[in-house]
């Protein structure tokens, strides 16, 4: 059975021409330029995913020390 899942459309001719100009300005081939852009985008996504993780719960010793710094409650 052929894969019928929708795939991301390729660039239009205008987009390809624009990227070719940018690649030429950077002194690279179009394929090398697009690969570089793909890697940079993946790195940014990975960094963004890393930043959104919740903070780690303090360890046992850290919690005990923090508790020791709090004043005692008077009944």
Residue 75 maps to a domain:
no
Q: Does residue 3 form part of some domain?
A: no
Looking at the domain assignment, is residue 64 inside a domain?
Answer: no
Name the one residue in this structure whose structure tokens are 């019928």. 4
How many structural domains is the chain composed of?
Answer: 1
47 within domain boundaries: yes
Range of the domain at 34: 11-53
Residue tagged 């008077």 (tokens): 74
pTM above 0.75, yes or no: no
pLDDT (tens place) for every residue of the chain, 75 residues total = 455 555 556 889 999 999 999 999 999 999 999 999 999 999 998 888 877 777 788 899 999 999 989 888 876
Is residue 36 domain-resident? yes
Query: If you compute the radius of gyration of the chain from its CA atoms, what whole number of angstroms results?
Result: 26
3 state SS of 64: helix
Residues in the chain: 75
């Amino acid at each position: 059975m052929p894969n019928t899942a929708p795939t991301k459309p390729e660039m239009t001719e205008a987009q390809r021409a624009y990227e070719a100009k940018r690649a030429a300005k950077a002194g690279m081939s179009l394929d090398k330029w697009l690969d570089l852009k793909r890697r940079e985008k993946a790195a940014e996504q990975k960094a963004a995913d890393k930043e959104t993780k919740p903070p780690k719960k303090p360890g046992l010793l850290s919690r005990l020390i923090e508790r020791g710094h709090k004043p005692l409650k008077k009944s």
